[in-house]
Amino acid sequence: MLRRLILAIGFAWLAAAPAALWAINPAFDPHWAVGDSWTVRFTVQLHSLPMTPDPQPPARTNVSYAYRVVAKVKENGRDVFKIQARPATPGWPEWLLTFDADELTLGTVQEVGPSGIAYTNPFGRDAWLAKVDQYNNLVIHDFPKIPDTSTNQTRQLTAPQTSTPAFIQTVDFQGGMAHAILQRTDPASQQKQATTIAWRPGKKWWTSATTTLGTGVLVSGQLM
């Protein structure tokens, strides 16, 4: 009887182990609650139109986005947070982000408005590197999966859909911060696409993020 009980406990622990591997890193748990808010200032490169006779160097513009946790609900049997990202400047798109509450991963990105375009994370409940121009390079929605043990890690993520290129995530914890790099070779341009994200313990959001293509910066963001 005792042996059966021990075996039952052992199998139960093994069944729960994969979920534990995806727990939120306690040092970087934002502890979101409905009503939490923060502001991110983005610097966006505005490239000249291709048909311009004399192309000018890319111009830069800034836009601030107010993020707000608007709900915590259940979807497909899991707790999720709904986070609204609203621009301070008219004419920029508004977004609704859905995060898994137990794993701190981005599940869907939806553009708010008449189009209502929604993007689902092709990598499941894991990190997400968007394809180049998927959001018109206006904001950074790319999001890492920070290891829960604060141990440096490099791994490749592959999506079931062949149209979504795989990428490599590298995370290190130098200086007490989490530094994540999501990178791949962009199939269209054959240039290196990378998003670098820094997260400081105790913050509600990443501290800074930059998306590059080749040697050029597409967009960068700073937590205010």
Has residue 1 been placed in a domain? no
> How many independent structural domains does the chain possess?
1
Q: Does position 106 have pLDDT exceeding 90, yes or no?
A: yes
Has residue 3 been placed in a domain? no
Has residue 2 been placed in a domain? no
What sign does the dihedral 169-172-173-175 (CA atoms) show? negative
Look at residue 1 in the predicted model and tell me its pLDDT: 47
Provide the strand spans (E) within the chain: 37-46, 59-75, 78-87, 94-100, 105-112, 118-120, 153-157, 167-172, 178-185, 192-199, 208-213, 216-223
Has residue 200 been placed in a domain? yes
Mean pLDDT of 22-42: 94
Structural domain including 181 reads: 25-49+57-223
Q: Does position 171 have pLDDT exceeding 90, yes or no?
A: yes
pTM of the model: 0.84
Residue 94: CB atoms within 10 Å: 14
Mean pLDDT in the chain?
86
Has residue 7 been placed in a domain? no
Q: Does position 99 have pLDDT exceeding 90, yes or no?
A: yes
Q: Does position 190 have pLDDT exceeding 90, yes or no?
A: yes
Has residue 16 been placed in a domain? no
pLDDT band (50, 70, 90) for residue 215: very high
Tens digit of each residue's pLDDT (9 = 90 or more) over 84-95: 999 998 889 999
Burial-class residue 197 by CB neighbours within 10 Å (0-12, 13-18, 19+): buried
Look at 53-57, 100-104, 157-161 and tell me which has the smallest mean pLDDT: 53-57
Has residue 17 been placed in a domain? no
Has residue 66 been placed in a domain? yes
Mean pLDDT of 104-129: 93
